Amino acid sequence: MRILIVGAGPTGLTAAVELARRGMLPDIIDRRDSGSGLSRAVGIMPTSLKILKPSGVTAQLVAEGIKFHAVKIYNGASLAFSMRLALKGRKDEFVLGLPQDRTEAHLQSAFEKYGGKIQFATELENLSQTGEQVIVTFTDGTTENYDYVIGADGISSTTRSLLGLGFPGHDLPETWSIADVDAENWPNGNSFTICKLKAREIVVVAPLEANRYRIISNTEDALKSLPLPINVTKIRRQGQFGISIRQVEAYSKGRVYLAGDAAHCHSPVGGRGMNLGISDSAELAHRFATGDLAGYSANRHREGKIIIGGSETIRKFVTSPNFFMRKLLFALLWLVGKLPFLQVKIIERILYGGLLEE
């Protein structure tokens, strides 16, 4: 069986590894000359670690990453809520912090151990389908025939465009910002930190590795907006970006399948972008192995819709400019601190509902 994967980000590489370990070595292409070299998504959830364990990737990720063991929420610069990520009967619950380029590097290494190789600087130009094959044309003019194609080529997916599939949704009007920094003696080195500022503004800090942090905000300058003191020794990257809330109408058409950001995108607040893409790929690889491809689109569309809806509910609540909503937020946090069963619900949401994506 010949399978082509378009895109060598975490979604495409997960598909490649999961197919390869089942004896189906795919081709995988990427328009970049090499790996991204950017931190981008940082939070790896327990579900993703479970998916990647059989290939040996999880052990490598855990050995290098930073474990988030707690969540801290501030009202401005004042600590309002702190909670350990611990569920009864489970020894070591955590979210793993690691720059996306390092996650990609470990996935690529695993794929290469199975005999695979990423074809960088190779771009999809066109595709057409017969009942038995997908005819793929690359930008250098060469043509190959494949049994199936997986489009994991991001929000601006060429694969999705060539299939003629809509990507309905909307763009958020505000500008978000990001800073990737080195800092010494940050007190929340193993915690996910959220600062609620005036009106609708928030700032989030997540560890990437020892003394390296991701700061993200719905303001124009994430680092400047952080109300807590941080001893920055190096700024690796700063920038601004917009956010789209979208989901493809169908995750497949004929013998071509979509996964990851090619199929869905959403807010970084409570989001699960990379992890949802990893789950897409794992399910698709399993269905290739079992021959049960028919249910993929409906199942992943349903799962994606749930995640996007949850992400939007959280975003609207925590960024609401309404004074009473702000009071309600901190009243609910106080209540959660008093009621253990509510803490369990929140912890389950964090561990199995995602954290932070760009």
Whether residue 330 is contained in a domain is answered as: no
Whether residue 129 is contained in a domain is answered as: yes
Any idea how long the chain is?
A: 358
Whether residue 90 is contained in a domain is answered as: no
Region 147-161: mean pLDDT is 97
Percent of the chain with pLDDT over 70: 92
314 Cβ partners below 8 Å, 6+ apart?
Answer: 267, 269, 270
- Angle 357-44-108 (CA atoms, 0-180°, nearest 5)? 100
Give the chain's end-to-end CA distance (angstroms, integer).
35
Whether residue 9 is contained in a domain is answered as: yes
Residue 271's pLDDT band, with cuts at 50, 70 and 90, is very low
pLDDT of residue 141: 94
Report d(CA 232, CA 239) in Å as an integer.
16
Are 12 and 281 spatial neighbours (Cβ–Cβ below 8 Å)?
Answer: yes
- Angle 286-289-293 (CA atoms, 0-180°, nearest 5)? 70
Whether residue 329 is contained in a domain is answered as: no
Whether residue 334 is contained in a domain is answered as: no
Report d(CA 200, CA 203) in Å as an integer.
10
Report d(CA 185, CA 200) in Å as an integer.
29
Q: Going by DSSP bridges, is the β-strand pair 244-247/169-171 parallel, antiparallel, or unpaired?
A: antiparallel
State residue 139 phi and psi, 5-degree precision.
-70, -15
Whether residue 196 is contained in a domain is answered as: no
Domain count, the chain: 1
Report d(CA 51, CA 57) in Å as an integer.
9
* CATH label of the domain that carries residue 276: 3.50.50.60
Residue 199's pLDDT band, with cuts at 50, 70 and 90, is confident
State residue 74 phi and psi, 5-degree precision.
-110, 145
pLDDT of residue 303: 92
Region 59-66: mean pLDDT is 94
pLDDT in tens, 320-339: 888 888 888 888 888 887 88
Q: Which of 13-17, 84-88, 125-129, 300-304 has the lowest mean pLDDT?
A: 84-88
State residue 10 phi and psi, 5-degree precision.
-55, -35
Q: Which residue range forms the structural domain that includes residue 137? A: 3-65+99-171+245-316
Whether residue 185 is contained in a domain is answered as: no
Q: Which of 13-22, 311-320, 346-355 has the lowest mean pLDDT?
A: 346-355
